[in-house]
Structure 1
Amino acid sequence: MLICLSILGGGRGNDLFQFMHIDSFCRRNGVKFYSPTFHEKYCPQFPNLPPSSKTPYRVKKLLYNRYYRKLNPNCILGFTDETKIPEYREQIKKDYLVTFCYGWFFNNDVYSENDIRYYQNLFDPKVDKERLNQKYLQKEDNEKIITVHIRRGDYKEFLEGRYFFDDDMYIRKIKELLAAIPEGKYKFLICTNDENLDLERYKREFGNVIQSEEGPLEDQYLISQTNYLLGAPSTFSQWASVMGEVPYYHIYEPEETITEDKIIKEIRGYKYKQK
């Protein structure tokens, strides 16, 4: 059987997780997986990501309406309902020759260390690591870096602004995080889409604070190289957490106090190795 991911699921983080979940599940179950749309979009950013065959896409484009849909009425599978993920997993394993899928409500059930290492290598980004390390990741002896991902911009409208937090909220949560993790010397890296962030306020509160001036690809790399991550719920930053095994806390409930046991250090059964 072949699976072809023909429509991507949303923003950058959604795309990346969508691919990893489907690809890893197919690899485990002996199903060939293609996603020409994904590869065309992301191959320039990740050199280890090989080009994808366009044959399944051409089959769909040329033969679907006239022939293939009659032979295989289940050939289009939409991952549109989070409660039906177990059904989608079983559907993928069925011998329907080619199934075209879309939507991002699909996930792999469990990951091993080998899985994570495979995708860390596959998605090693094409960035100037030496420059980024020198500019943002330099630190003193025994110093660690906390990334604060301040998601504004599109989050003002997303879910009616549920996760659009002001500086007071982020500063309060940073203090809670500091109280929950081991005492030590910390440097802060802020990644944000807020062009008017009051960086000086964060410097007054926490001292050693630097703000990224880079694009999305570079920001995900930077986040992956730090020691802790704090931010609004976002697959963008969660992806960086998985790639760098960075423990993270996403602010789902602003009134919940951050404690050590609420900091996430794993993805679907695979526990991060501590840096």
Structure 2
Amino acid sequence: MLVIARRYGQLGNRLFLFAHLIAAAKHYGVALRNPCFAEYAHLFPRMSDDLWCRYEPDSNVKSSREKTASRHASPPSLAQRTRLMHAIEIGTKTLYLARLREHPFKIIRLSKHDECDLAGNEFESAARSGRVVLLQGWRFRSDAFLMQHWASIKDFFSLGVRDRNAVDESLATARRDCDVVVGVHIRRGDYANFMDGRYYFDDACYARWMHQVREQFPGRKINFLVCTHEAIDESSFKGLSVFRGPGSAIGDMYSLAETDVMLGPPSTFTGWASFIGQAPRIELQSAEKSVALPPHVQESILSGSIQGKGTVQIVGNRLVG
């Protein structure tokens, strides 16, 4: 069994860590527990009633677990989830510092800049050892496993009815009477201080980039789906056909996933949207840079060979800058 024993970052970061380890669990045929997904478990029906946020590669085991969970009077509260998360985090750290790293559990703890190759011999040996393996670190990675098991990951992280309906309604509105829908993630907030505000862009910057993208589809009607928690000056977007996302973090993320191409500053938020929807994204790196889509991407978008068909393998890295 693999157990994610420490939380890292917000929704996008935790989704990617969880997804990479789901892919590894699927590959090695072992169970996975992620009590450190506590704050976000309620967003996904596959784990909303499960205190441990379990992934079982064996469908028969999962079905049995779901039948048991269905008898619970109510889903776990956030307080219950948080207590378990803290207990796992503190317990694992205590064992590690006491140098009890092999017994009774196997502990793999990464420093800030370390990376663990999930396809490597060391991790495979731990996963197949038959022991409980406690994992602390963010860079547990295998892009190959991630893409190989993309369909299983997408299914596991499918939305509930309310959020799914909000996404569908948002996309239906944005797609009305247009040829291409471009998603735009405007992120400010914490980005005012992140890397000294390097990726903190004002409305005028986003509007300029949006005009540049529109000009690359001459003769086509382009609609923009803008997703943000920030207040925006609508006058900055004059001359652009702009629609707003659902407004919730999960609704905006999954709406961006279904656009034809998305723009946004470097973030696992759009990284996850790009991965789960297999839609290309452009990372906005500098206010001084222009946005240019490669010709083959423009052609693929217009032919419909990217959006919704998974023909481009995207694991969260930028397409162009």
TM-score grouping bracket, smaller chain normalisation:
0.7 to 0.9
Answering whether residue 303 of structure 2 is matched by residue 267 of structure 1, we say no
Partner of 2:73: none
Answering whether residue 150 of structure 2 is matched by residue 116 of structure 1, we say yes
Inter-partner Cα distance in structure 1 for 2:219 and 2:28: 45
Residues 151 and 191 (structure 1), Cα distance of their counterparts in 2 relative to 1, 3 Å cut: same
Answering whether residue 263 of structure 2 is matched by residue 227 of structure 1, we say no
Answering whether residue 191 of structure 2 is matched by residue 155 of structure 1, we say yes
Correspondent of 1:245 among 278, 287, 297:
278
Inter-partner Cα distance in structure 2 for 1:169 and 1:67: 51
Q: Percent identity?
A: 26
- The alpha-carbon deviation at position 47 of structure 1 amounts to 0.7
- The alpha-carbon deviation at position 3 of structure 1 amounts to 2.0
- Verify the 8 A CA contact 1:181 1:260 in the aligned structure 2: no
- Verify the 8 A CA contact 1:136 1:210 in the aligned structure 2: no
Residues 192 and 28 (structure 1), Cα distance of their counterparts in 2 relative to 1, 3 Å cut: same
More deviation, 26-35/253-262: 253-262
Give 5+ residue unaligned stretches, structure 2.
Answer: 55-83, 298-305, 307-311
Partner of 1:86: 117
- The alpha-carbon deviation at position 5 of structure 1 amounts to 0.5
Q: Which secondary structure state, in structure 1, belongs to the residue aligned with residue 204 of structure 2?
A: helix
Inter-partner Cα distance in structure 1 for 2:98 and 2:242: 60
Residues 224 and 171 (structure 1), Cα distance of their counterparts in 2 relative to 1, 3 Å cut: same
- Verify the 8 A CA contact 1:199 1:211 in the aligned structure 2: no
Answering whether residue 43 of structure 2 is matched by residue 45 of structure 1, we say yes
TM-score (norm. length: structure 1)? 0.79
- The alpha-carbon deviation at position 12 of structure 1 amounts to 0.7
Inter-partner Cα distance in structure 2 for 1:116 and 1:158: 30
TM-score (norm. length: structure 2)? 0.69
Q: Which secondary structure state, in structure 2, belongs to the residue aligned with residue 252 of structure 1?
A: coil
Inter-partner Cα distance in structure 2 for 1:253 and 1:70: 44
Relative contact order: is structure 1 or structure 2 higher (C-alpha 8 Å, sep ≥ 6)?
1
- Verify the 8 A CA contact 2:261 2:281 in the aligned structure 1: yes
Residues 198 and 136 (structure 1), Cα distance of their counterparts in 2 relative to 1, 3 Å cut: farther
**Superposed, which structure 2 residues align to 1:100-249 within 5 Å?**
100-111=134-145, 115-126=149-160, 127-135=162-170, 137-138=172-173, 139-180=175-216, 184-195=220-231, 197-202=232-237, 204-206=238-240, 208-212=241-245, 214-249=247-282
- Verify the 8 A CA contact 1:111 1:268 in the aligned structure 2: no
Inter-partner Cα distance in structure 2 for 1:88 and 1:160: 36
- The alpha-carbon deviation at position 128 of structure 1 amounts to 4.1
Residues 252 and 149 (structure 1), Cα distance of their counterparts in 2 relative to 1, 3 Å cut: same
- Verify the 8 A CA contact 1:241 1:248 in the aligned structure 2: yes
Inter-partner Cα distance in structure 2 for 1:182 and 1:89: 48
Inter-partner Cα distance in structure 2 for 1:182 and 1:162: 32
Inter-partner Cα distance in structure 1 for 2:273 and 2:115: 27
Answering whether residue 23 of structure 2 is matched by residue 24 of structure 1, we say yes
C-alpha distance after superposition, 1:221-267 (max 9, x if no partner): 22122222111111112211222222110112444433323979532
Q: Which secondary structure state, in structure 2, belongs to the residue aligned with residue 94 of structure 1?
A: helix
Inter-partner Cα distance in structure 2 for 1:222 and 1:66: 43
Inter-partner Cα distance in structure 2 for 1:161 and 1:70: 40
C-alpha distance after superposition, 1:67-124 (max 9, x if no partner): 9916549933233354643389443222362221122122213157662221221111
Give 5+ residue unaligned stretches, structure 1.
Answer: none
Moved over 6 A (4+): 65-68
Residues 49 and 84 (structure 1), Cα distance of their counterparts in 2 relative to 1, 3 Å cut: same
Q: Which secondary structure state, in structure 1, belongs to the residue aligned with residue 225 of structure 2?
A: strand
